[in-house]
């Protein structure tokens, strides 16, 4: 009885501190929106906010793929190039039959699901290759995915290579395909609906399944996970495969949103995804991370990017600001880890 009364009579300052601690990342996001909105009221235009959410949707899907890998103490530097490969593959299969510069001459219009599934398939293949190298050959994730990043870029460049002109951009995409990225359903952009669905699936996967429990166990203490009977190699392979699958989906969505693709699509996206996850509370030491935090981290970066553009800040300064945020976030995360030890 007394314990309940004591809990109910917490000082307001303590309650406020606890609330701020638990919701710090959300408060940062709201603070950014309010601050930029005060400086430039046009930033709060509903059309601009919806555009931020639409652009964030593709990056959120990528971050959700990276997040699970980071939780297991891994990393994936090939994510961005895999997105580019998937975008190019889906675009090449979604070009109109009458398009003059069609990559595959004479190929008829394919069912809408074909380019999307092809993109997911190539992403899944890259993910399985990454997971196999990490799980079976015991190559550190940084090196394994760095090598895969270079391999994938070479592969996507060869895919769109048209000697003697070299790698050429792909255009002339069918309207039903581009509608995935530019259209809406019941007034809500399709990209936002798809990203929300993916976030829900990953939330369930992380929090309601054995795989989710296993990846947090592996990230928290790999040796203890092995003793507990967790198959590290099998779960490592699965989490990299899921990451690749999501990069493939993101590539198809990116091609649909922009109406085309080039071999440079996705360049640097892996760094943005990793940074968004870290900002969102995914620990670089493994074992910690939430879907909500990953999504919020993506939104913070996109709000920051859009806000700095609205404020007229140079693109070069935007990169400096982003870099500072990443370093500070990682430093804070490492500090928390050292304090716990």
User: Quick check: is 320 in a domain?
Assistant: yes
d(CA 68, CA 236): 10
Question: What pTM did the predictor assign?
Answer: 0.91
> Which residues neighbour 295 within 8 Å (Cβ) at sequence distance 6 or greater?
60, 63, 64, 199, 280
User: Quick check: is 5 in a domain?
Assistant: no
Q: Is the peptide bond before 262 cis (omega within 30 degrees of 0)?
A: no
Strand extents, DSSP E, the chain: 184-185, 188-189
Per-residue model confidence as pLDDT tens digits over 96-121: 998 988 988 889 999 999 999 999 99
Task: Name the residue with higher pLDDT: 337 or 332.
Answer: 332
Specify the number of domains making up the chain: 1
pLDDT at 1: 46
User: Quick check: is 34 in a domain?
Assistant: no
d(CA 246, CA 60): 10
User: Quick check: is 250 in a domain?
Assistant: yes
Please report, for the domain that includes residue 188, its CATH number.
1.10.3470
Given a cut of 50, whether residue 131 has pLDDT beyond it is yes
Per-residue model confidence as pLDDT tens digits over 164-175: 777 889 999 999
CB 130 within 8 A of CB 156: no
Per-residue model confidence as pLDDT tens digits over 233-271: 999 999 999 999 999 999 999 999 999 999 999 998 998
pLDDT at 336: 64
- Domain housing 52: 39-340
User: Quick check: is 115 in a domain?
Assistant: yes
CB 90 within 8 A of CB 115: yes
């Amino acid at each position: 009885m007394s314990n309940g009364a004591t809990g109910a009579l917490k000082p307001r300052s303590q309650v406020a501190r606890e609330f701020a601690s638990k919701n710090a990342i959300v408060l940062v996001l709201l603070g950014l929106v309010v601050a930029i909105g005060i400086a430039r009221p046009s930033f709060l235009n509903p059309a601009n906010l919806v555009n931020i959410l639409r652009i964030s949707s593709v990056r959120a899907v990528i971050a959700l793929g990276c997040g699970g890998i980071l939780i297991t103490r891994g990393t994936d530097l090939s994510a961005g190039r895999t997105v580019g490969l998937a975008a190019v593959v889906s675009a090449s299969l979604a070009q109109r039959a009458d398009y003059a510069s069609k990559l595959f001459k004479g190929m008829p219009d394919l069912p809408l699901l074909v380019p999307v599934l092809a993109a997911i398939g190539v992403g899944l293949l890259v993910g399985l290759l990454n997971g196999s190298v990490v799980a079976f050959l015991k190559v550190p994730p940084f090196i394994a995915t760095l090598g895969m990043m270079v391999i994938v870029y070479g592969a996507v460049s060869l895919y769109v290579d048209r000697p003697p002109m070299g790698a050429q951009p792909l255009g002339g995409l069918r309207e039903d395909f581009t509608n995935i990225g530019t259209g809406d359903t019941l007034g809500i952009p399709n990209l936002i609906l798809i990203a929300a669905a993916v976030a829900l699936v990953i939330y369930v996967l992380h929090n309601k399944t054995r795989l989710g429990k296993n990846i947090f166990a592996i990230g928290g203490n790999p040796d203890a996970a092995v003793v507990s009977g967790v198959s590290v190699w099998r779960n490592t392979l699965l989490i990299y495969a899921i990451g690749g699958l999501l990069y493939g989906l993101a590539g198809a969505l990116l091609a649909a949103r922009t109406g085309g693709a080039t071999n440079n699509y996705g360049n640097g996206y892996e760094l943005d995804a990793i940074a968004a996850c870290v900002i969102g509370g995914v620990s670089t030491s493994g074992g910690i991370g939430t879907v909500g935090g990953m999504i919020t981290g993506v939104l913070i970066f996109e709000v920051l990017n859009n806000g700095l553009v609205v404020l007229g800040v140079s693109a070069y300064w935007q990169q400096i600001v982003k870099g500072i945020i990443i370093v500070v976030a990682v430093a804070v995360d490492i500090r928390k880890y050292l304090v716990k030890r």
